[in-house]
Amino acid sequence: MKTILRPPLSCFLILISGIFIFYPAYAGQKPKLVVQITIDQLRGDMPWRVNNRFGPGGFRYLMDNGTSYTNAHYQHSTTFTAVGHATLATGGNAAQHGLAGNDWHDTTAGKRVYCVEDDRHVLIGKEAKAHQGTSPRNLTSSTIGDELILATGHKSRVFSVSIKDRGAILPGGHLGKAFWYSSGSGKFVTSTYYFEQYPEWVKAWNAAGHADKYQTESWTLLQAPDTYTYLDQDDREMEKSYKHLGKTFPHPLGNEKAKSFYAALRFTPMGDSLTLHFVKELMMQEKIGQGEAIDMLAVSFSATDYLGHAFGPDSLEAEDNLLRLDQTLADLFAFIDQQVGLDKTLIVLASDHGTDAIPEYKTSLGIAAGRHRPDEFIAQANASLQARFNTTENLVVAFWNPSLYLDGAALTKLNLDVTTAERALAEAMMELPGFALALTRTDLMAGDIPSTSTADKIQAAFHPKRSGNVLIVQEPFWYLYPNPDQFSAMHGSPYSYDTYVPIMFAGPGIKAQRITRLVAPRDIAATIAAYVGILPPSGSVGTPLSEILD
């Protein structure tokens, strides 16, 4: 057996009274900068399918100069943006990081909770409105960035940028600074949690109107048409394009309605280009990676997710986006090399979740698939419970993936035991088509679940205070989301197409190699912590990746 604990370049794990103490894995010069890149909805096979068409400086820089894990899978069932970003930042599961989904139901207040909402901290310059304040308050674990700041006596700085608010706020942690794109103005914004007023450089960047240059442009194919695998899949009836973009190339970007124009950019590679432009300005103005302590930059590129939802992951749009994303990464890496030096930078790239094809497309190929409609299955479940317990009350009051929530007051009024109601609801759901598994809160709290990988993933996604009474899993290839017609394609299941993501490391001391053993994204935070010699996040349950530390 290969021994990985070899001084002085290895990660020493000293067991004292059951406590693991991590020492720096890399004995050479520590990096000046840690860059954590998250490509929203980048399934693990996608970069490798077209890697022969990439340039040398983007994905291929990581593939050729670092360690790539080609068998990385999330171990939770809630493969959504908020949960994935929280796992990457903390190394924890739902019980540790607190994110039961992108949304959940507050049983006390009787309302929906958005993952990063905080009415106490509004967007700078905006009036307080319900569900529009934002902060990391719902994140119940420290992040790798938080631990870096604490370990250096607040000398390290952490910045996080994304098109999505949750894609910026969760990686930024409690102590970092986060900025995200406003689909109503084309600007990058933040909340009063981070600043009382915008920094002057942010004001100047926003005033320059960088998004507006796309008003006269179109999204066209980057390479010769005959080189595209999905050239004949450019006009499919089941695609759900965003407003004026249309379903076929070229996609016109301009729109006389400013809000529609700015919102549509999220569904194109130009959304990532804007993100990169802002990141460059951030790096220059804040002199990131040029201080006495290690800085951290988290960047979440979100366009892959938006356009994947609209056109599907096996569309011509998704294929062209990958090629353009590669150019965006190459541009970012070249800029980092100029500003800091790639030889002084640890880069980690992963994704928050994978994705599946459009269910109607699967059906057209003869594969069993479907699209769930929550209003319908909630009504059917309520009818079943009403008949079973001889009541006219609607006992199921809310659904947020993957949870169904029961009305506690109604159960009390009926003198109905919660455990009994939960099991009846689980049985009712299993009688409906398109559902593979339903587990009750009572059984998940007790750990009384089937010995299957799917059940294990539901357990990892379960939060004792925020998850519902019954957690459900759809059959493979079934679309399940509160709004059934919002998108063409969806993710959020425990199946391999949703759990499979790339993990790539490049930086000082890291070998050029490809690893095929099964690993999990929750291992990333523990690996970064061991690499730079700091405490793992408080909720970390991952295992440091030996190939990075060897």
- For 466-483, the pLDDT digits (tens) are 999 999 999 999 999 999
337-352 tens-digit pLDDT: 999 999 999 999 999 9
pLDDT of 305 over the 50 cut: yes
Q: Which helix (H) or strand (E) holds 435?
A: strand 435-440
Please tell me the predicted confidence (pLDDT) of residue 472.
98
Classify burial at 1, counting beta carbons within 10 Å of its beta carbon; exposed 0-12, middle 13-18, buried 19 or more: exposed
Active site residues: 81
pLDDT of 5 over the 80 cut: no
Please tell me the predicted confidence (pLDDT) of residue 471.
98
Please tell me the predicted confidence (pLDDT) of residue 550.
83
Please tell me the predicted confidence (pLDDT) of residue 129.
72
Please tell me the predicted confidence (pLDDT) of residue 30.
85
104-124 tens-digit pLDDT: 999 999 999 999 999 999 999
pLDDT of 501 over the 70 cut: yes
* 526 confidence band (pLDDT: 50, 70, 90): very high
Please tell me the predicted confidence (pLDDT) of residue 126.
86
Q: Which helix (H) or strand (E) holds 16?
A: strand 13-16
pLDDT, average across residues 25-40: 84
Please tell me the predicted confidence (pLDDT) of residue 14.
33
**Do strands 33-39 and 295-301 pair parallel, antiparallel, or not at all (unpaired)?**
parallel
pLDDT, average across residues 359-381: 97
Residues β-bridged to residue 504: 68, 349
DSSP strand E in 480-539: where? Answer: 500-506, 513-515
**Percentage, residues of the chain above pLDDT 70:** 95
Please tell me the predicted confidence (pLDDT) of residue 530.
97
DSSP strand E in 241-292: where? Answer: 251-252
pLDDT of 494 over the 60 cut: yes
* 13 confidence band (pLDDT: 50, 70, 90): very low
* 28 confidence band (pLDDT: 50, 70, 90): low
Return mean pLDDT, the chain. 94
DSSP letter for 299, please.
E
pLDDT of 514 over the 50 cut: yes
* 384 confidence band (pLDDT: 50, 70, 90): very high
Taking CA atoms, 172 is separated from 68, 149, 166, 271, 466, in Å, by 24, 11, 10, 20, 22
- The span from the CA of 217 to the CA of 212, in Å, is 10
Please tell me the predicted confidence (pLDDT) of residue 12.
35
Please tell me the predicted confidence (pLDDT) of residue 127.
78
pLDDT, average across residues 86-104: 98
- The span from the CA of 243 to the CA of 350, in Å, is 30
Domains of the chain: 29-66+78-341 (3.40.720.10), 370-479 (3.30.1360.150)
Instruction: Indicate whether this model's pTM tops 0.85.
Output: yes
Please tell me the predicted confidence (pLDDT) of residue 44.
98
Cα within 13 Å of Cα(472), Cβ side: 31
Please tell me the predicted confidence (pLDDT) of residue 132.
76
pLDDT of 361 over the 80 cut: yes
Q: Given CA atoms 93, 99, 103, 107 in this order, what sign does their dihedral have?
A: positive
Please tell me the predicted confidence (pLDDT) of residue 217.
97
pLDDT of 299 over the 80 cut: yes
**Do strands 158-162 and 177-181 pair parallel, antiparallel, or not at all (unpaired)?**
parallel
pLDDT of 18 over the 50 cut: no
pLDDT of 9 over the 50 cut: no
Please tell me the predicted confidence (pLDDT) of residue 351.
98
Least confident of 21-35, 167-181, 267-281, 506-520: 21-35
